[in-house]
A = this chain, B = another copy of it.
Amino acid sequence: MRLREEVLEANLELVRRGLVLFTFGNASGISRDEGLVAIKPSGVPYEKLKPEHMVITDLQGKVVEGDLRPSSDLPTHVILYQKFPAIGGVAHTHSEYATAWAQAGRPIPALGTTHADYFHGPVPVTKELTKKEIASDYEANTGYAIVRAFAKLNPESFPGALVRGHAPFCWGKDPADAAHHAVILEAIAKMAYISSGLTKTLKPLPKALHDKHFLRKHGSTAYYGQPAGKN
């Protein structure tokens, strides 16, 4: 099953990029045709992970293949797959700068074109969960909190969010794309942090410039990179 390998590779990419300490992170992928999700098992050291360790579940998060427990964050991934039908992969890390913004409870403002190339506005941050939402189905409720933050946003134009007091979740068209966005998010989180220290009057990027950069890379008018089929 090719999905297992893609999911393993996305998990390893998070490690190679320095986004994951010990086992604090997990990536998953979905086969929409089969209705199956593959996800990293919980608490297994990355250096021992093999494709066959990936846990396979259905779209309700019920394990259908695999002897190991799935990542404890599985229910968050599952809600994202249910509610964001265009996504094919999810990556969760505790990467330092993105997590620090989540801990500060602040959306990451769009200060530059690096940000604008990927997120069509500030990186959203979820609202606090209620005590009840924490007490039962906590991980699923984390997913719902993200979904609520996207009431007016398109997840294809904002490939990630900060869970308040916790850390980022990112997604993409497949597991590799989700991991790619996790790397990008950490980079823009770090640069926004540094910029914040340099001026008290931070201004977001002008809308015209933001749109220009986002649309250079996305949609029918994109002209960045090589044409499809090339390279």
CB distance from A146 to the nearest CB of B (A): 15
A194 is an interface residue with CB less than 8 A from chain B? yes
A100 and B191 form a contact (CB under 8 A): yes
Are A112 and B134 in contact (CB-based, < 8 A)? no
Q: A85 interface residue, CB < 8 Å from B?
A: no
Q: How many residues of A contact B (CB 8 A)?
A: 64
Chain B residues contacting A114 (CB-CB under 8 Å) are 24, 94, 99, 167
- Structural contact, B198 and A106, CB atoms closer than 8 A: yes
Q: Which of A30-38, A56-64, A150-158, A199-207 contacts B (4 or more CB under 8 A)?
A: A199-207
Structural contact, A69 and B227, CB atoms closer than 8 A: yes
Q: How far is the CB of A135 from chain B (nearest CB, A)?
A: 7
* A223-B72 contact, Cβ under 8 Å, with A96-B194, A197-B196, A198-B196: yes
Q: Are A165 and B113 in contact (CB under 8 A)?
A: yes
Q: Enumerate chain B residues within 8 angstroms of A205, measured Cβ to Cβ.
A: 165
Residues of A within 8 A of B (CB): 21-24, 41-44, 68-69, 72, 94, 96-97, 99-106, 111-114, 128-129, 131, 134-135, 138, 165-167, 180, 183-184, 187, 190-199, 202-203, 205-206, 208-209, 212, 216, 223-227, 230-231
Can you show 25 pairs from A to B with CB atoms below 8 A apart? A43-B225, A69-B230, A94-B191, A96-B190, A96-B194, A100-B191, A100-B198, A101-B195, A103-B191, A103-B195, A104-B198, A105-B199, A106-B198, A112-B166, A128-B206, A129-B209, A134-B208, A134-B212, A138-B212, A165-B205, A165-B206, A165-B209, A193-B194, A196-B197, A197-B197
Can you add 14 more A-B contacts, CB < 8 Å, to A44-B226, A112-B165?
A21-B187, A22-B184, A42-B224, A44-B231, A72-B216, A99-B114, A100-B192, A105-B203, A112-B166, A113-B167, A134-B209, A138-B212, A193-B197, A196-B197
